[in-house]
Amino acid sequence: MFYFDPTYFLFVALPTLVLSGLVQMYLKSSFAKWSRVPNSERMTGMQVGETLFNKTSLRPIPLEQTQGSLTDHYDPHANVVRLSTPVAGQTSIAAMAVTAHELGHVQQYQTGSPLIGMRSLLLPAIQFSPTISYIAFTLGILFNLTGLMWVGVVFFGFMVVFSLLTLPVELDASRRGLALLKEAGLLDTQEEVRGARQVLSAAALTYLAAAITSVMQLLYYINLIQRNRRYN
């Protein structure tokens, strides 16, 4: 089975493991560092969110607290922002930055961002792509059916495109979040600006790592098909 292919281990699995590990270490260390530094307004994440709704053009939506760490997200279906316990209750620069990022997503939906629109078009395909890709590629390998393997690659390609679109969406949300903080007058010091940018940049790296991983995986599948054709 291709799961035990040394090429996969050396050029996909190992680099992915190292890259993801380094990115997670940087994200956690950046978040921990700026979680210890209070923002100048001494506002919790929840209070930052309410202030951004009150002092910017954002239309207010519910803010909820959710369990876990770094589990913050905007749920467009329920139209609610959920902030993790450390972010919702802390008065840190990190909490302020993460909250602003999630409200940046809110602004994307409220203003009809084309990036969000393009990614949303792929959502129906993404729901079924992983299963179809896995089945098609596995059966193609087992029965030496190159055409079926290419079907698996095509459906995996939908996931790659989705991952590549996610990166600019997240970067744009961070850009919008910083702009909202400035509009609301919550970035009073250069330290706050520097801290917020570092936290948001670290978070963006996780999406960059995911995009790189998905592209590497796709290239491996294509290479495997080409090798399979040479040997048959």
124-168 tens-digit pLDDT? 889 899 999 999 999 998 898 999 999 999 999 999 999 999 999
Domain ranges for the chain: 2-230
CA 165, CA 169: separation in Å to the nearest integer?
A: 6
Q: Averaged over 109-130, what is the pLDDT?
A: 91
Mean pLDDT is lowest, of 3-7, 65-69, 79-83, 103-107, for 3-7
**pTM score:** 0.90
Q: What is the mean pLDDT of residues 171-187?
A: 96
pLDDT of amino acid 5: 79
Q: What is the side-by-side strand order in the sheet with 80-84?
A: 63-66, 80-84, 73-75
pLDDT for res 54: 98
Does 177 score more than 90 pLDDT? yes
Q: What is the pLDDT of residues 38-88, one digit of tens each?
A: 999 999 999 999 999 999 999 999 999 999 999 999 999 999 999 999 999
Q: Which residues are catalytic?
A: 102
CA neighbor of 94 nearest in space, from 7, 28, 21, 179: 28
**Which residues share a beta bridge with 63?**
81
More confident residue, 8 or 31: 31
The pLDDT value recorded for residue 1 is: 41
Reduce the DSSP state of residue 149 to 3 states and report it: helix
**Residue 122 pLDDT > 90, yes or no?**
no
Residue 190 confidence (pLDDT) above 80: yes
